Structure 1
Amino acid sequence: MPYLTSTPTGTSSTDVRTGFGVPGCAHPLLAPAEWTELTRPGTPLHWVVLDVAGGPGVQPDPHCLDAAGRLRNAGVRVLGRLDAAHGTRSFPELIADARRFHEWYRVDGFLLDRCPADRAGLPEVRRTAGALRALRDDAHIVLGHGTHPHPGYAENADQLVTFRGAWSDYRWSQVAEWTADYPPERFCHLVHGLPRGHLDEALRIARWQGAATIWFTDRTDRGGLADPWENLPGYWDDIISRIGTGVSE
């Protein structure tokens, strides 16, 4: 199925362009500068995930509605986060969350986070993806496995997150052979705990492994006690300039 990128108004794209997939910042009240920065013209964004309260929340949040609207007005694709809980959440629960995201925030697609990766989970994920496309036929669907899944998953989404974790693991990671059958636009890598001095190395790894959508940050999970994705990396301006000038080559 086709892969469609969203870039801020006034930017151009090439056949293969490394860009950011933002796995979700803290609530706009807690991280207003982050949400504003994401609308900066020229920022190479493929998508930004909206997670109101472990999903869409129980009622529309005006602060999140405003943040999502400003992103979409800037030409950035916004994805609603659906927590698959490694296959333990029911189909009705996931679709109910998706409907709220669609009706309240007019999202452009969905990140099915903590998505199953084994062959046994494939039929239910296929069913879920079909229902999400029924909500919006042009929905951009990202499956957040965080590891290389069974190759059958590639036929059910626009993109797969095939790495999610620490730099200490990423720098020694290996790519699954079957991914060579697909273009880099189909794969995402999300890496935390990456020091500034290793940015070029990490960008080369993403290129060698064939992932066009990335998110690198020096924030850490502090042993599982913190969310490393809540804030922008300390080297935000630096990585923007590197991506924009093709340093990853």
Structure 2
Amino acid sequence: MIVLKTSRELSLMRKAGKISQTALKLAGEAVEPGVSTWEIDKIVRQYIEKMGAVPSFLGYGGFPASACISVNDVVIHGIPSKSIILKKGDIVGIDIGACYEGFHGDNAWTFPCGEVSEEAKALLDATEKGLFLGIEQARPGNRLGDIGHAVQAYVEARNYSVVREFVGHGVGAKLHEDPSVPNYGTPGRGVRLLPGMTIAIEPMVNRGKCGVRILQDGWTTVTQDGSLSAHFEHTVAITPDGPVILTQLD
């Protein structure tokens, strides 16, 4: 069931989104050679809790950390660890959620660790652009297929592939709500977008083929062919005036 949010609920989601986005900004600033992903996760948790919120991911389905930190060929759900030390040239996807007064803000970004290859830069640029092209389609009267098609058409035209097994989602009082928001689709197809809907649009794009596999820890998801992967995400509200990004700093 899709839940349309009231103006009060949207206000709370905006606050949750601001906390989540600031935590993501702090995490990105900590991405440097020699830093462990565990250290970054600690920064995230401390900030979210300092702001009177709760890390959305901590304990969710048994996930053991406050942030998913995914390096290079890890697509999503990387578990922070003291043994994972970042090095120059890595790309680091960080996915963070914060729950404030019962409502969630969910966002992700992939950061370069020092100077990265031209191939990595191009992948990051294409995935980020795909995200914002998808967001542009998040307007009343459009359909979910319009969002997915905008992402898919852009990244596939650049010879990248869109992950199929994982998609975006509704977000609100629950971290994951209806509807599912694929990063691929057909224009004019799927659920019609209405004011009050709040969705997480999150392209996951591989430099190689689209296939992924989950490691034995039950969380860490990697590309099947070992290629690099990037992940970008914003929580977006559908409003009469168009899309409003709730996980964006003023």
The answer, yes or no, to whether TM exceeds 0.5 is no
Which structure's residues are more often strand, by fraction? Answer: 2
Q: TM-score under structure 1 normalisation?
A: 0.30
Q: TM-score under structure 2 normalisation?
A: 0.30
Which structure's residues are more often helix, by fraction? Answer: 1
Of structures 1 and 2, the one scoring higher in RCO (CA 8 A, sep 6+) is 2
